[in-house]
């Protein structure tokens, strides 16, 4: 989920440490990561050993096809270990001091299946919506990084950005210099590590390998990834995401619109 080119070496080092632990436990783990052109191809692979996906996916399209292992801890401000949230960003000269000031404006959304870029925003906007609407228009950008750029370039007025991505952007994306953080969304379970059902029996072994790997990594890997630990979890931890979207739908606001 956070495999930016600027930190790819560190992501590879994280996997190398996990794979080493798995091989020591007798699991034939690949030495390198598979990076398909379409990340959906990774999650759809029946023999997926370890992957990271959005929490909305495990209670959505991937329900019954993967099992949650746990969540990496990125020490997001205001969150307990293994949780995260989003920042709402706009341009510095925007007059809106809170979300209500962005009624009928244009919002950038990375994709409508995203917890941090869409569902978290729906959660905040639903009480403000009138007739099932709040924003005047929606721009779907395809990624958080493109949402940041869209707001900075004036193509949208507001975006909800995963706080882990925002930290990466502060270090690597010049467009953040043209933005300000207007608000934070509520904490939710962070994007989980998942295993395909073909390897679900290895759940405990994988979790041990991930926990040990993260604990053993040096600061040269942990700091660029904002990685501080690992929390073992389950798919049930993510039902709150589906519940919140269902509540928004009952209230007449099923999507950001």
| Strands in the chain per DSSP E | 51-52, 66-73, 83-84, 86-90, 106-109, 137-140, 158-162, 180-184, 188-189, 192-196, 229-232
Judge if 116 and 205 occupy the same domain: no
Region of 235 please: left (phi>0), alpha (psi -120 to 50) or beta: alpha
Judge if 208 and 124 occupy the same domain: no
Judge if 51 and 69 occupy the same domain: yes
pLDDT computed for residue 252 by the predictor: 62
Helix (H) / strand (E) element for 248: namely: helix 239-250
CA 67, 68, 72 angle in degrees (round to 5)?
155
Judge if 174 and 227 occupy the same domain: no
Structurally, the chain folds into a number of domains equal to 2
Contacts of 71 (CB under 8 A, 6+ apart): 82, 83, 189, 190, 191, 192, 193, 230, 231, 233
Judge if 138 and 175 occupy the same domain: yes
Here the CATH number for the domain that contains residue 38 is 3.40.190.10
Judge if 106 and 231 occupy the same domain: no
Judge if 211 and 131 occupy the same domain: no
Judge if 161 and 224 occupy the same domain: no
Q: Is residue 34 part of a domain?
A: yes
Per-block mean pLDDT, blocks of 10 residues, the chain (257 long) = 96 98 96 88 86 94 93 96 96 84 94 92 88 89 97 97 98 97 95 94 97 97 96 96 82 54
Q: Is residue 150 part of a domain?
A: yes
pLDDT computed for residue 36 by the predictor: 87
pLDDT computed for residue 250 by the predictor: 66
Judge if 15 and 69 occupy the same domain: yes
* The overall pTM is greater than 0.85: yes
pLDDT computed for residue 254 by the predictor: 47
Q: Is residue 225 part of a domain?
A: yes
Nearest to 59 by CA among 191, 213, 255, 206: 191
Q: Is residue 148 part of a domain?
A: yes
Judge if 66 and 90 occupy the same domain: no
Q: Is residue 89 part of a domain?
A: yes
Judge if 193 and 171 occupy the same domain: no
What length is written for the chain? 257
Judge if 179 and 196 occupy the same domain: no
Q: Give residue 143's domain range.
A: 83-187+244-250
Q: Is residue 97 part of a domain?
A: yes
Q: CB neighbours (10 Å) of residue 38?
A: 8
Q: Is residue 257 part of a domain?
A: no
Q: Is residue 58 part of a domain?
A: yes
């Amino acid at each position: 989920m956070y495999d930016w080119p600027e930190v790819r070496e560190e992501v590879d080092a994280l996997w190398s440490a996990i794979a080493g632990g798995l091989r020591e436990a007798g699991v034939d783990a690949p030495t390198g990561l598979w990076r398909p052109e379409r990340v959906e191809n990774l999650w759809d692979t029946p023999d997926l050993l370890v992957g990271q996906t959005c929490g909305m996916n495990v209670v959505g399209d991937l329900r019954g096809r993967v099992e949650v292992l746990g969540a990496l801890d990125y020490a997001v401000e205001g969150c307990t270990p293994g949780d995260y949230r989003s920042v709402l960003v706009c341009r510095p000269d925007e007059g809106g001091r809170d979300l209500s000031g962005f009624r009928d404006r244009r919002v950038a959304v990375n994709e409508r299946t995203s917890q941090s870029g869409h569902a978290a925003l729906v959660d905040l906007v639903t009480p403000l919506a009138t007739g099932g609407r709040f924003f005047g228009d929606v721009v779907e950008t395809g990624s958080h990084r493109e949402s940041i750029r869209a707001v900075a370039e004036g193509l949208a007025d507001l975006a909800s950005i995963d706080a882990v991505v925002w930290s990466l952007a502060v270090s690597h994306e010049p467009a953040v210099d043209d933005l300000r953080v207007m608000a934070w969304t509520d904490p939710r379970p962070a994007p989980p590590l998942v295993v395909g059902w073909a390897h679900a029996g290895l759940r405990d072994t994988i979790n041990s390998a991930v926990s040990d790997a993260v604990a053993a990594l040096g600061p040269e890997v942990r700091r660029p990834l904002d990685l501080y630990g690992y929390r073992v979890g389950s798919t049930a931890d993510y039902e709150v995401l589906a519940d919140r979207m269902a509540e928004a739908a009952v209230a007449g606001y099923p999507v950001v619109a």
